[in-house]
Amino acid sequence: MSVILVANPKGGVGKSTLASNIAGYLSHRGHSVMLGDIDRQQSSARWLAQRPASVPLVRGWELQSVDGLRTPKGVTHAVLDTPAGLHGKKLAQALKIADRVVVPLQPSLFDIQATYDFVQELQDARQDRGTHGQRLSVALVAMRVREGTLSQQQLQQFIQQLGLPLLAELRDTQNYVQLAARGLTLWDIAPGRVARDLEQWHELCAWLEPPTLN
């Protein structure tokens, strides 16, 4: 199974938006999915409570913290929404069960500075896993991007220095806010209503479902 960690030490960068939409996408694809939320604000948990029965099921992954974290059973994919300030031992605990880490960040100076050290920590963990024959994939997703702005250009320049793939630049739109309030994702409504947003997810979706080797 796959465990996808959505993490950034800075709060308010869009972790819950990203985690809930990843879970919704995977369930839409027919996978058995759990969504866990150990962030104090419990935004993903509240989203899950609002999710209607008429859309693909996302099960709740009941946990309180990374302490004693274990891979859930009975699902093909688990998505974990993490709190701000996750680093050091607690990050290491979460990474023990994860095979993929998605790092959301916004095009602001404060987000960029906070993300840099965190990415270095992830790179060290990835190298350590590699020496033991275990794979850890790490990728970045830019959130609330306003196209053509100076902040977008600065973010792109920063990402080039990190050596990690930028899988998506998700635009600043009320679509995510309005859907979240109803427990929905981009894949739960008519595609024509969110066509531009779905297009921005293509590369990230492919990364979430890598081809299997026969």
Whether the pLDDT of residue 151 is over 90: the answer is no
pTM: 0.93
Query: What is the pLDDT confidence band of residue 214, given thresholds at 50, 70 and 90?
Result: very low
Instruction: Write down all domains in the chain, each with its CATH number in brackets.
Output: 2-208 (3.40.50.300)
Q: List residues bridging with 2 in a β-sheet.
A: 77
pLDDT level of residue 114 (50, 70, 90 thresholds): confident
- Per-residue pLDDT at 213: 44
**φ, ψ for residue 22, nearest 5 deg:** -65, -45
- Determine contact, residues 106/143, Cβ cutoff 8 Å: yes
Kindly tell me if the per-residue pLDDT of 170 is higher than 50: yes
Contacts of 135 (CB under 8 A, 6+ apart): 99, 129
Give how far the C-alpha of residue 55 lies from the chain's centroid of Cα atoms, to the nearest Å: 20
User: Does pLDDT of 126 surpass 90?
Assistant: no
pLDDT in tens, 7-28: 998 888 999 999 999 999 999 9
One-letter identity of residue 18: L
